[in-house]
Amino acid sequence: MRKIQKFELFLACLALFLAAGASLDAQQDSRPSPPPPVDVPRIEGKIVVDGRLDELAWQQALRLELPFETDPGENIPALVKTVVLVFHDQDNIYFGLECFDPEPAAIRARFAERDQFDADDLININLDTFNDERRNYFLGCNPLGVQRDGIETQGGDGSWDGIWNSAGRIHERGYTIEIAIPFSTLQFQRSSGPQVWGLDISRWYPRSQRHRLGLVKIDRSNNSYQNQFMKIKGFAGITPGKSIEIVPTLTGIKTDVRADLPDGDFANVSKKLDPGLTVKWGATANLTFSGTVNPDFSQVEADSRQLDINQPFALFYQEKRPFFTEGADFFSSPFRAIYTRTLRDPVWGLKLSGKEGANTVGAYFVQDDLTNLIFPGSQGSGAASLDRLSSALVLRYKRDFGSQYTLGALFTGRSGDDYANRVYGFDGVARFSNRDKVSFQFLGSSTRYPNEVVSGFGQPAGTLGGRAFGAQYEHQTRRFYFYAEYDDVSDLFRADLGFMPRVNYRELEGGFSYKWIRNQGWWSQIQVGSSFEYSEDQESRFLFRSNSLNFFFRGAMQTYFMFYAHRILENYQGRNFPRWAAESYLQMQPVANLQFSLSAHFGDRVDYENVRPGRSFQVNPALLLNVGRRLAFQIDHNYEKMNVDGRELYTANITQGGAIFHLNARTYLRAIVQYVDYGYNVANYTFPIDPETKHFFSQLLFSYKLNPRTVLFLGYTDNAQGDQEYRLARYNRTIFMKASYSWQM
């Protein structure tokens, strides 16, 4: 009972804070009035995007500079000069950047896949087109004109692939970037008169440290980035994206499988040529409707292999399919109640997303040939994949109140023969000041499993009702950070279209950190902190307790070092396991073309499969080597060994490597390999297990990408496996192609 009172005390404190927030809202941080918006001129002139700012229009453009270094230096004068030119016409907004550099030979730039060049010199254009100080587009490129883009929100970053034009050129003064962004690519408010947008421009200047140069000063005590933007004014008479985009696709695949390993013959099991179609339509000025029929949801990028031994809960994998990643921020939720990787093999889908005024809307309906299920619990989860058709509906709505409050609602539903799952609820975020933020979410669920799941996977029969509640408070200043979080999820809560593999728990968590900051020298930031966590199940049975200390260092040669020490008491299957553990991470870039990292985890660990105490050691080195501007190699290795009673239980090795050669900014050749080797000491297991399993995956790919949706892929993959009876033997091989073209009207 005393433990429950801890949770009730936290909720009482949270209620007091919410009440105090109402008065804090009327006493906002005293800040000087923001400067008036800067006018962006409208200039009608022919522009060729070639990285040369020699057209007459550039001489008439708005001229800005990036005067500040905001990281690691704190709003100190910029190390190098950057001049920004801005103007617009009826159809585009244009940016020209002269990035001066006293050592042009030190500029870091390489041809790379789109969005995959964070270690380079680069610039970012950050546009808050709704001026709501919550969300902004970022569009950037490196000195060779290679593009990156996305959505940045106060809760994190979201995927977005826009179609826009850029070019870069390195020269004796530094480098020049030229960018044209069509208004049809962006969403913004409808207005016949001038509009006000938020703007920040950042230049990343990686040398011994990675310096961020910016248009505006950044207050590190402010928990909102967007409310610190410069305001720009103009764009009268322009219209947002109402275009129709039609993307036909053609996918071909041929797969051979060897039925009898290791020496059987290959037989063709799949050979098909499938057309598909995706259509995007600006249903209104700011709402985009898209539909797809027979989509190609195959992943050209292979998932990074994760260690899956001795893991009681399901592993999380990042979504990479464009239909789901685009506009993903519209579907964000405090609990991970929406997780599109549960949709395995969609036949067709419809999607609506966008923002009208203060209202944000996201919805999709997908019919799936397979039904993936996670069976959550308090100490582990199970999974199943049913070969049956199901329909999935997701609805997400948010409404902004002023610049500091947001309320939202969520509904997800999936149904099939004798199966249904519904999740519904509401949530909110309140920024009472630039330092204090509260977020919360209430969810309810209703689930009915088919008889085959009830009998085959031990799930309850009938209709299951569940609930989930979570709340978090964050306080942030320049040097100090504090957070407290409470979650309460009932035993029968199910989010089958989300990723919530853990239920039947109440958890209180909190922590703080303090940092020292230097503008110059061999170190720029040192941070120390502590955190705690306590959880029990819905019957007040103890589950988990931890106390942690952490240390963070940032310094020369782009060095990042983190260390965590944990004291843990964990209850598993009715037994308490006290343990100590530590983990660390080091990343460095000692020279321009070489980056490496090393993570390690060691200490006591529970042997979940045999319910015993053990000790483990895990190390993960990784290396990235760039050879010139076109060729890159990457390799990482994950090693883990676990001992129980002083004897080996298992040893796991996962090696992943790749090489990529860019013919130009749009075309590359790539090879990927993954090798997995698990060895088990069968004498130390309490149940029968094979002593060894091996797996090898390889992929060769040719890629041409004119823009994110006009692409050509040609590739080959194969898989091999082995065990104690035979060495690696190939068991399938696939040749594939995909061609798509974005036709805009």
Query: Is 741 contained in some domain?
Result: no
Question: Does 69 share its domain with 214?
Answer: yes
CATH at 81: 2.60.40.1190
Place of tokens 């899956």: 308
Contacts of 218 (CB under 8 A, 6+ apart): 68, 70, 71, 75, 225, 228
- Output the six-digit token pair for 425: 């609820």
Provide the pLDDT for residue 25: 40
Question: Does 4 share its domain with 53?
Answer: no
Residues of the chain with pLDDT under 50: 1-30
- Output the six-digit token pair for 238: 């322009």
The closest alpha carbon to 81, from 174, 200, 146, belongs to 174
Question: Does 112 share its domain with 188?
Answer: yes
Contacts of 196 (CB under 8 A, 6+ apart): 37, 131, 231, 232, 233
The one-letter code for the residue type at 483 is: Y
Query: Is 163 contained in some domain?
Result: yes
Query: Is 714 contained in some domain?
Result: no
* Pairing of the two strands 38-39 and 230-234: parallel
Neighbours of 577 (CB within 10 A): 18
The closest alpha carbon to 583, from 550, 542, 539, 630, belongs to 550
Phi, psi at 342, each rounded to 5°: -70, -20
- Final residue in a domain of this structure, among 202, 234, 266: 234
Whether the pTM exceeds 0.85: the reply is: yes
Question: Does 9 share its domain with 52?
Answer: no
Distances (CA, A) of 354 to 110, 370, 745: 34, 29, 20
Q: Please answer whether residues 356 and 349 qualify as being in contact, where contact means their C-beta atoms are separated by less than 8 angstroms.
A: no
Question: Does 198 share its domain with 316?
Answer: no
The closest alpha carbon to 486, from 503, 467, 507, belongs to 507
- Output the six-digit token pair for 661: 């050669």
Question: Does 106 share its domain with 224?
Answer: yes
Question: Does 211 share its domain with 357?
Answer: no
Provide the pLDDT for residue 300: 60
Distances (CA, A) of 169 to 56, 99, 111: 19, 10, 13
Query: Is 547 contained in some domain?
Result: no
Give start and end residues of each alpha helix (H) in 585-739: none
Question: Does 332 share its domain with 227?
Answer: no
d(CA 187, CA 611): 54
Provide the pLDDT for residue 402: 83
**Domain of 397, in residue numbers:** 1-33+311-503
> Exposure of 123 by Cβ count < 10 A (0-12 exposed, 13-18 middle, 19+ buried)?
buried
> Exposure of 578 by Cβ count < 10 A (0-12 exposed, 13-18 middle, 19+ buried)?
exposed
- Final residue in a domain of this structure, among 503, 527, 547: 503
Phi, psi at 59, each rounded to 5°: -70, -20
Run of H or E residues at 291: strand 287-293
DSSP at 687? S
Contacts of 650 (CB under 8 A, 6+ apart): 309, 310, 640, 641, 642, 678, 679, 680, 681
Question: Does 335 share its domain with 482?
Answer: yes
- Final residue in a domain of this structure, among 479, 503, 527: 503
Q: Please answer whether residues 577 and 544 qualify as being in contact, where contact means their C-beta atoms are separated by less than 8 angstroms.
A: no
Q: Please answer whether residues 439 and 14 qualify as being in contact, where contact means their C-beta atoms are separated by less than 8 angstroms.
A: no
d(CA 387, CA 102): 62
Run of H or E residues at 323: helix 322-325
Provide the pLDDT for residue 241: 56
Query: Is 169 contained in some domain?
Result: yes
Question: Does 151 share its domain with 59?
Answer: yes
Provide the pLDDT for residue 34: 74
Across-strand partners of 245?
280, 744
Phi, psi at 495, each rounded to 5°: -125, 80
Per-residue pLDDT of 325-382, as tens digits, reads 777 788 889 999 999 888 888 889 999 988 888 899 999 999 998 899 999 999 999 9
Run of H or E residues at 674: strand 667-680
Q: Please answer whether residues 718 and 254 qualify as being in contact, where contact means their C-beta atoms are separated by less than 8 angstroms.
A: no
